[in-house]
Amino acid sequence: MHNGAKNTPEALPQIIDAVRDAGYEFVPISEILLEGDYQTDHEGRMHLSQ
């Protein structure tokens, strides 16, 4: 998904249905972020700050 992409809004319902049909669910990001003093690296991995 890209901000401002021409066809994203009309494609989104189909994408959401396909993701759900594949067994995934959507949750708030607050439910998947680790608690504590973590840093996120350039690959999206979280590491405990030292």
Q: 29 lies in a domain?
A: yes
Does residue 1 surpass a pLDDT of 60? no
Q: At CA 29, angle to CA 9 and CA 50, rounded to 5? A: 135
Does residue 41 contact residue 48 with C-beta atoms inside 8 Å? no
**Number of independent structural domains in the chain:** 1
Measured from the Cβ of residue 46, the count of other Cβ atoms closer than 10 Å reads 13
Q: 36 lies in a domain?
A: yes
Q: 23 lies in a domain?
A: yes
pLDDT at 32: 84
Q: 35 lies in a domain?
A: yes
Number of H helices, E strands in the chain: 1, 2
Instruction: Show the domain range for 22.
Output: 10-48
Q: 1 lies in a domain?
A: no
Q: 17 lies in a domain?
A: yes
Q: 3 lies in a domain?
A: no
pLDDT at 2: 62
Q: 4 lies in a domain?
A: no
Does residue 26 contact residue 16 with C-beta atoms inside 8 Å? yes
Give per-residue pLDDT as tens, 22-50. Answer: 999 999 988 888 788 888 889 988 888 87
